[in-house]
Amino acid sequence: KVSVFWFRRDLRLHDNAGLYHALKSGYPVLPVFIFDREILDKLEDKKDRRVSFIHQAIHDLQNQLRQSGSSLLVKYGSPSEVFPALLEEYDVETIFLNHDYEPYALERDEMVQEFVRSEGVDFRTYKDQAIFEKNEVLSGAGSPYTVFTPYSRKWKEKLNTFYLKSYPNEKYFSNFLQTEPFIIPALEEMGFEKLTENFSPRIVEENLILHYQEQRNFPAIEGTTRLSVHLRFGTVSIRELAEKALRLSETWLNELIWRDFYFSILFHFPQVGKGEAFKREYDRITWRNNPEEFELWCEGKTGYPIVDAGMRELNATGFMHNRVRMITASFLTKHLLIDWRWGEAYFAQKLIDFDLSANNGGWQWASGSGCDAAPYFRVFNPTLQTEKFDKNMEYIRKWVPELNTSSYPQPMVDHNFARKRVLEVYQSGLGKK
Ligand code: FAD
């Protein structure tokens, strides 16, 4: 008999909750990863960076597991086909895995659980990717928080060393199933192209976190950790990071709490992940939704240098600095009056750190429809934002080298005109005077 550990967005051997319990189950542990066709078949870009990132992380896991004489069993298919085959092939006692709060994942896990239980196999799930999840942080009245500040206050009150403790998985590595190496399918076999980018694990200096508060808003410098993709796929442990944050920077800790907060919003209000505005009255706004203007925004040709720099950074690298994410999202929704869902979908396609909860939270925040809304009348002024956060235009010049030439476009819309227009449209949609 074996225990199975099913890796998903927790691609590491150390400090991994579900894996720890599997290793202590008393049966040899067969580690499994599925390249899920249900997800991969929907990706249009065959050079998708996320698929390459995962592929590389899977190879890293494989190398580590070989050192313990074990091997990762990697399947390519739909979980509804993979599990029946797996239970045919192995005598499985229990399947261990970590929670995932996205609507697709919840449905998938429910379906797999129902099937394996019907076959007499136990199915055990654990909290791993958040410090607090589901109903762990609720208001005094027992309802989920819908505003960040009181949520974060409660989060901090509840925190103690127990929640930050690492799971000592390495003590039990000898409990992995000893096998001959399994082969990992090549990206090409799954219809994807291999990228040359190297997504190796990131080492973040404590110094960066100590200076986080002063530096985090300036896109020209590396003042933020760029750990988002590693948090997304679990190549780092949130407990280790939160422990560091607690020691070094409350501002940075707050960012990690935003992450838990948006997981919790998606968990308690799954409709936001299915296209609904958190504040329903925002669905009464009449968006202009001009496809040509949307295209100019996507390509970074709006004539607003900070917006264009951000979009070009995103298109070229799959990353965009948080300050610039806020500026570009505000520009699309407020200056161009394009539905936040269009922007959300574009980011979802391009961001290497794409996470349904944070992306949806960020977009709804920018449009004003979110749970912790920026007031609807706040319209970022791209010129003032540039003066504050990229005064020497270093970030802009990096991404918009033709800035002072005739080939750079004029602003596609006048700021004052756009500001007046959005206020009128929002006021009339929201029924405000
Ligand atoms: P750091 O500043 O070093 O922060 C550390 C970690 O905290 C991040 O890696 C991230 O996991 C978390 N974090 C920071 N800010 C937020 C936030 N506002 N909400 C949730 N978690 C946060 N973040 C994503 O991880 N995936 C997304 O798809 C995503 N889409 C966004 C869309 C918009 C419109 C906006 C305004 C923000 C979005 N963010 C998203 C949040 C934020 O921009 C990124 O997490 C951050 O830029 C990642 O850089 P970093 O790792 O250097 O962050």
Question: What's residue 132's pLDDT?
Answer: 98
Instruction: Assign 376 a pLDDT band (cuts: 50, 70, 90).
Output: confident
Kindly report, residue by residue over 215-263, the tens digit of the pLDDT: 999 999 999 999 999 999 999 999 999 999 999 999 999 999 999 999 9
* Cα separation, 307 vs 328, whole angstroms: 5
Q: What is the pLDDT of residue 202?
A: 78
Distance (angstroms) between ligand 1 centre and the Cα of 358 equals 7
| Confidence bin at 194 (pLDDT 50/70/90) | confident
Is residue 181 within 8 A of residue 61, CB to CB? The reply is: no
User: What kind of fold does domain 130-166+205-268 have according to CATH?
Assistant: 1.25.40
Tell whether pTM > 0.95.
yes
Lining ligand 1 with CB less than 6 A are 216, 224-228, 231-232, 255-256, 258-259, 262, 322, 325-326, 329, 347, 351, 353-355, 358-359, 361-363, 366
Statement: residue 278 has pLDDT above 90: yes
Q: What average pLDDT does the segment 351-372 reach?
A: 96
Overall average pLDDT of the 404-418 stretch: 97
The structural domains of the chain, with segments of one domain joined by +, span 1-129, 130-166+205-268, 273-430
Tokens of 41: 């078949």
Encoded tokens for 107: 């449905």
The pLDDT score that the predictor gives to residue 402 is: 98
Express each pLDDT in 45-103 by its tens digit.
999 999 999 999 999 999 999 999 999 999 999 999 999 999 999 999 999 999 999 99
| CA of 200 relative to ligand 1 center, distance in Å | 19
Instruction: Check if the beta carbon of residue 16 is closer than 8 Å to that of residue 41.
Output: no
**Does residue 363 carry a catalytic annotation?**
yes
The whole-number pLDDT of residue 363 equals 97
Q: How confident is the model at residue 198 (pLDDT cuts 50, 70, 90)?
A: confident
418 touches 425 (CB < 8 A): no
Query: Per residue, what are the HEC states of 178-216?
Result: CCCCCCCCCHHHHCCCCCCCCCCCCCCCHHHHHCHHHHC
- Over residues 309-326, the pLDDT tens digits come to 999 999 999 999 999 999
The reply, when asked if residue 256 is annotated as ligand binding, is yes
Of 102, 276, 287, 381, the active-site residue reads 287
Closest C-alpha to 47, from 184, 229, 190, 183: 190
Catalytic residue among 255, 293, 313, 344: 255
CATH of domain 1-129: 3.40.50.620
**CA–centroid distance, residue 407 to ligand 1 (Å):** 33
For domain 273-430, which architecture applies?
Answer: Orthogonal Bundle (1.10)
C-alpha 240 to ligand 1 mean position (Å): 18
Q: How many CA atoms lie within 13 A of 407 on its CB side?
A: 3
Share the mean pLDDT of the chain.
96
Active site residue 322: yes
pLDDT of residue 108: 98
Answer whether residue 197 shows pLDDT above 90. no
